[in-house]
Amino acid sequence: MDPKEVKSDLVLILDYGSQYTHLITRRIRALSVFSLCISGTSPLKSITDLNPRVVILSGGPHSVHTPDSPTFPDGFVEWASSNGVFVLGICYGLQLIVQRLGGEVRVGEKQEYGRMDIEVEKSCGLFGSKSVGHKQVVWMSHGDEVAKLPDGFEVVARSQQGSVAAIENSLRRFYGLQYHPEVTHSPEGMETLRSFLFDVCRVNAGWKMEDVLDEEIKVINDTVEPDEHVICALSGGVDSTVAATLVHKAIGDRLHCVFVDNGLLRYKERERVMETFQRDLHLPVTCVDATEQFLNKLKGVVDPEVKRKIIGKEFISIFDAFAHDLEQKLGRKPVYLVQGTLYPDVIESCPPPGSGRTHSHTIKSHHNVGGLPKDMKLKLIEPLKLLFKDEVRQLGRILNVPEAFLKRHPFPGPGLAVRVLGDVTQENALDILREVDEIFIQSIKDAGLYDIIWQAFAVFLPVRSVGVQGDQRTHSHVVALRAVTSQDGMTADWYYFEHKFLDDVARKICNSVRGVNRVVQDITSKPPSTIEWE
């Protein structure tokens, strides 16, 4: 997707490491405005080439007083001013604006974290029709504070403690908020973003999934020559299914899909997925049974990052072999490999589009983006890599992908390898986990909860516990149940089941799955945890 072809003004977010940065992107897209996130330390050319209408400087954990603290490139202020670009600084971003434009930031005498009241001091575009004296609750998270504003700036809101909460210089088109409008803890934050984009910046809202589809098809057709063939890695999940359907719409029978049974799939996943591909989607799919190949490579491996790297490498070797077989059949070599990589995959794997993300930590490598060998023979096509999960589902509906497919819970690329903690080949762990997971998911469906929950699954723990089954002492395995609600997978809350539901599920598991005598529930949100255990 070429940002310059999108029928919307671009809002570009420069990321300085805030855990909420991705939420800014999501909130802006929810207003039908296209937004992208790149590193806050990107070169000026990377910013100017995207030709944004608005640039937002995100928050971050840093202090402008630290010698190596990240900042926007030299020449950014002059470029923005001379090109009519609007700039909004959020938290750390506000402090950058103040410091770089000649003001003063100091360590706050009273640090502000959590919910705080702010009061509008001056009528301004940031707060729309809100009059002077209007109070609202916002989410603060800062230790430094503004001591002196640069020339031409005004304070337009203060916190209940008297600290600067919002500033503006309307002539230079620079604005700042010392709080996070993008989080739900700032109830009027979305209204503030709307006022800023539409009333102040006069942004054109034209971000629609129909346009995304048209643009992606155009990009694919411009990329893939008329005589070139493409392989698509189908997992049976939402992402790869939508990606395959989109590419198939673009190039037809020059797409060749392959579904790999790596021995790490869910209960009867292979049979169910292949039936749906053939019956509902009418996609030409070859199934490759690589169970032995994957499990042999994973034997004895306990480190989750190593697991992911191994699995990514094995997938690519299979696709290379599949490409070789196709070459013998077609008389020409397939050139591209399609993957259903999403924007959260890219963000978490670091770096995001724009590269050079040096001020945030890699959480985990995704097999889509973290396990690809440098000498891979196939070029990548990732038509969904700038989209979030709910956007992919919207795109799938436009492509007439069956609703049952679109509503499937996310399933990790490495499969059950990251849900068996430790060596996946030991103690019949995979078969035990499949049975437990099937009972859990079917119980959720029977209770009418499947569509409410973002993701649910079971985890095989590398511990045994003492129990009593059939009047005999047992020393058996422990499994954990995890269910979360989320919008895009970047943050998540654990789902609160009724006690009777958990009681029934635990009884079913212990009575039906040989080798399990204890069931626990994971009640941790993201952050601090990730959704998957590994």
Helical axes 209-223 vs 389-398, angle rounded to 10°: 80
DSSP per-residue letters across 435-488: HHHHHHHHHHHHTT-TTT-SEEEEEEEEEEEEEEETTEEEEEEEEEEEEEE-SS
How is residue 386 annotated by DSSP? T
Q: Hey, what are 241's tokens?
A: 């299914």
Q: Is 75 annotated as a binding residue?
A: no
pLDDT mean over 278-305: 91
Among residues 22, 37, 62, 91, the one annotated as catalytic is 91
Q: Hey, what are 416's tokens?
A: 């059950």
pLDDT in the model for residue 78 = 95
Among residues 112, 182, 391, 532, the one annotated as catalytic is 182
pLDDT in the model for residue 230 = 92
pLDDT mean over 241-269: 92
Helical axes 429-446 vs 499-512, angle rounded to 10°: 140
> Mind listing the pLDDT tens digit for each residue in 300-358?
999 999 999 999 889 888 888 888 899 999 998 888 989 888 877 766 554 433 334 44
Find out whether 201 and 53 touch, Cβ atoms under 8 Å. yes
Distance of CA 201 to the CA centre of its chain: 27
Q: What residue type is assigned to position 404 of the chain?
A: A
CA gap 527, 68 in Å, rounded: 26
pLDDT in the model for residue 413 = 84
pLDDT in the model for residue 3 = 60
Residue whose C-alpha is closest to residue 161's, from 115, 112, 89: 112
**Cβ–Cβ contacts within 10 Å for residue 493, how many?**
13
Give the pLDDT band of residue 116 (cuts 50, 70, 90).
Answer: confident
Give the pLDDT band of residue 370 (cuts 50, 70, 90).
Answer: very low
H or E element in which residue 80 lies: helix 76-82
CA gap 240, 234 in Å, rounded: 5
pLDDT at 466 over 50: yes
Give the pLDDT band of residue 487 (cuts 50, 70, 90).
Answer: confident
* Domains of the chain, CATH where assigned: 11-200 (3.40.50.880), 209-407 (3.40.50.620), 429-521 (3.30.300.10)
> Mind listing the pLDDT tens digit for each residue in 22-70?
889 889 998 999 888 888 889 999 999 999 999 999 988 888 888 888 9
**Cβ–Cβ contacts within 10 Å for residue 119, how many?**
15
CA gap 167, 57 in Å, rounded: 14
pLDDT in the model for residue 48 = 94
User: Is the whole model's pTM more than 0.75, yes or no?
Assistant: no
pLDDT in the model for residue 360 = 41
- Pairing type for strands 10-15 and 34-39 reads parallel
Catalytic, 210? Answer no
Catalytic, 37? Answer no
Instruction: Scan for tokens 């971000």, then name that residue.
Output: 207
Give the pLDDT band of residue 235 (cuts 50, 70, 90).
Answer: confident
pLDDT in the model for residue 1 = 58
> Mind listing the pLDDT tens digit for each residue in 157-182?
998 888 899 999 999 999 999 999 98
CA gap 77, 44 in Å, rounded: 10
Q: How many residues does the chain have?
A: 534
Residue whose C-alpha is closest to residue 97's, from 2, 168, 184: 168
**Cβ–Cβ contacts within 10 Å for residue 278, how many?**
12
Q: Hey, what are 524's tokens?
A: 């941790």
Q: Is 529 annotated as a binding residue?
A: no
Q: Is 236 annotated as a binding residue?
A: yes
Catalytic, 180? Answer yes
How many angstroms separate the Cα of 323 from the Cα of each of 20, 296, 319, 333, 470? 41, 23, 6, 7, 53
Residue whose C-alpha is closest to residue 436's, from 470, 461, 406, 410: 461
Q: Is 241 annotated as a binding residue?
A: yes
Among residues 22, 180, 229, 248, the one annotated as catalytic is 180
Q: Is 235 annotated as a binding residue?
A: yes
CA gap 180, 321 in Å, rounded: 49
CA gap 165, 148 in Å, rounded: 13
b/e burial code for range 357-367 (CB count within 10 A of at least 16 → b): bebbeeebbbb
> Mind listing the pLDDT tens digit for each residue in 64-93?
888 888 999 999 999 999 999 999 999 999
The helix/strand/coil state of 182 is coil
> Mind listing the pLDDT tens digit for each residue in 120-139?
998 888 888 888 888 998 88
